[in-house]
Amino acid sequence: MTMSACKRMVPAMRSVATKPAFVAARSFSASSLMREGATPTLPARKPVGAFRGGIFGFLTGSLVASAAVYVYVLGEYRIANESLNEDILALQSATQRLQTYIGELETKVDKLKK
């Protein structure tokens, strides 16, 4: 753009900048008939007593926590039990190998004594 074109645009920009952006044509108020017609149609709820609701919530929370702990402990028990069984089987196989080795040694010693 040239300098003369910029000078021609300045008055147009000022007129746009000075005009208000939004002019409210009417107010946002409701008539008295509209306010009276907006009554709630929901049925009244029977209030739950704080004592009864508190006990019910406490028992529900305790039950959920107990179930979660039970499942966790049961899983840990199964893992520990499987590990113990594997160790017992390994010990049993080592004992059998040792018995066969001792048996072979005894037969060799008996042959040497004869």
Q: What are the pLDDT tens digits along the chain (114 aa)?
A: 565 655 666 666 666 556 555 555 666 665 665 556 555 567 777 666 777 778 889 999 999 999 999 999 999 999 999 999 999 999 999 999 999 999 999 999 999 987
C-alpha distances out from residue 25 to 22, 28, 58, Å: 9, 10, 57
Q: Give the SS3 label for residue 13.
A: helix
pLDDT for the residue 6 = 57
Euclidean distance between the first and the last CA atom of the chain, given in angstroms as a whole number: 123
pLDDT for the residue 103 = 95
What's the predicted TM-score (pTM) here?
A: 0.46
pLDDT for the residue 54 = 84
pLDDT for the residue 5 = 59
